[in-house]
Structures are given as C-alpha cells and as structure tokens.
Amino acid sequence: MTDVRPVALVTGANKGLGRETVRRLAGSGWLVLLAARDRERGTQAAATLADEGLDVEFVELDVTSDESAEAAVRAVAERVDHLDALVNNAGVAGPMLDPADVEAAALRRLYEVNVFGQVRVTRAFLPLLRKSERPRIVMVSSALASLEHASDPARPEYGFLSLDYASSKAALNMIVSQYARALPGFKVNAADPGNPATDMNRHTGVHTVAEGVEAIIRLATLDDDGPTGGFFDRNGPVPW
C-alpha cells in the first residue's frame, strides 16, 4: 500500500477547475484521486486523463452526504495509506436574485455544498491527512468573499450582488482561518481562482481554467515555509 508519490484528492473534479487541478497535479507526478458525485462522468473524466498517461483514479463522493464521505474515505484507504493534499473544489452557484428575494431555503441548499460539504469532507479525510508528513488543505473560495473588495466601489465585486454565493465563500474563508489555527503542521489556505470561463458562469469568465488553477496548485504544493490561514489568487494575497 505504501506509495512514495504524493497523493491528492480533488472534489468536484469531473470538469472545470477541478479537472484541471487533477491534470496539473498528476502531470507533476502526483497520484490524484478524482472525486465526483456522478459516477459515470467522474469515471469518464478519470479514464480520459489516464489515457493521457496520468496517474488518476476515480472516487465517488457526494459532499452533501455523510454516508458518501465515509464510503469515499474507506475506498481511498484501500488504495493509499495517507493523503498529502485535499482540494475542496466542489461548489455550486445559486440563481441570480436580488438579495431581498433570496429565501432561507435556497441559501440552505447552497450552503450544504459550499460550506457544510467542505467541513464534512475535511473532517472525514483528516485521519489520512494526519498520516502525511506535509498535509495541505485548499478551499476554493472567490474574490466575491472579500469584504474589502465588496466595499470598494472601484472593484467589480462591489457591483455584483450574490447574497447566497458570496456569503457562502465568506463563511468558507473563516473556516479556513479556524482550521489553520487548529491544525498545527498543516497548511490550510483559501484559493481565489479569479473568474475563469466554466459551466458555473456559462463560460463568460475572463480567465482561462489553466489560469484559474494556478493559486490552487501553488497552495496544494506549498513548501514547509509556506503560509497557512491565508487567502490567495495567482498574483498573491487577497484581502479578507
């Protein structure tokens, strides 16, 4: 079971940022577990990357389900004896509504993935991460979570109203801060991928997916002197 290669698990990885993160890590010699809730799409994505000569394996994981998370941990533990990096990429966007029109039920559905799902998966995989000599956790956040950006009329985030999505990512940033202080020896950080063209924004983003994953890859592969408890895009720190 012992494997000398670093091992990563990436959630929501059958397409977009998740899939590109898998590709980049595997291309650097990592064994990467491509996690997705849809078995058919996830299996196909992993097979396509494996056909490119990359060491990628599929793991079924619905981040909204305790049972699925527990089953995923068991499946991973049968293949490897540790996990070096967990990239919590799975996320959803809500409908474009005026904040006054957002109902609590809709907010709860989105938080189930973007907030509770990240905690669920992180907690489930902590035992395997603790067995790594250099455990890294990356939460994929958004510049929309930045309170400083949101209060600056000169920033695009100021004019983008998204009560559900933006607040979920702001909550995720505090979760990053909490984990970073509670997990000595870990590097736990939030990554802002910018605005890449993906299915989530109907491919209207201004960045490529390759550009979007740069911060994610850097944080997943941090050296021992790297930061923890921070928020970064591909250019450096992002204000909270």
- List active site positions: 165
Name 206's Cβ contacts closer than 8 Å, sequence gap at least 6.
194, 195, 197
From residue 33, alpha-carbon distances to 11, 50, 76 in Å are 9, 11, 8
How many other CB atoms are there within 10 angstroms of residue 74's CB atom? 10
How many other CB atoms are there within 10 angstroms of residue 186's CB atom? 20
d(CA 76, CA 58): 10
Cα 183 off chain centre by: 18
Helix (H/G/I), strand (E/B), else coil: 113:
helix
d(CA 181, CA 185): 10
